[in-house]
Amino acid sequence: MSDGALGGNATPSVARDIAQKPVLTHSVVQDDAVQVLVRESINALEAQNMDEASRLINLALKLDITNPDLQFLNGLTYHLMGV
């Protein structure tokens, strides 16, 4: 689902920008897990599989709840879902 107000393909590029930023977490293993979950959630967003994107980003949030980039991506996903 693409939001016309965001210009169609603008949303995946915003999400990709977030995925490329380093994520500050408590450990290297946790950081790797969060990065994988973010990449997979962005892939799901690009495939317009919003439920899977939401599930994955919420898993990432369980690992790093205070990360503002994850919070933004979660909000963006809910926005695209129409929630």
CB environment 35-44: b (16+ within 10 A), e (fewer): bebbbbbbbb
- With beta carbons less than 8 A apart as the criterion, state whether 23 and 36 touch: no
Q: Is the pTM of this model over 0.95?
A: no
Residue 21 lies in a domain: yes
Q: For residue range 65-80, what is the model confidence (pLDDT) as tens digits?
A: 999 999 999 999 999 9
Residue length of the chain: 83
Domain span including residue 47: 8-81
**pLDDT of 25:** 47
Total domains present in the chain: 1
Is 59 part of a structural domain of the chain?
yes
The string of pLDDT tens digits covering residues 36-51 is 999 999 999 999 999 9
- Assigned domain for 3 exists: no
Structural domain includes residue 24: yes
The answer to whether residue 2 is domain-embedded is no
Task: Say which residue the tokens 């990432």 belong to.
Answer: 60
Is residue 22 predicted with pLDDT exceeding 70?
Answer: no
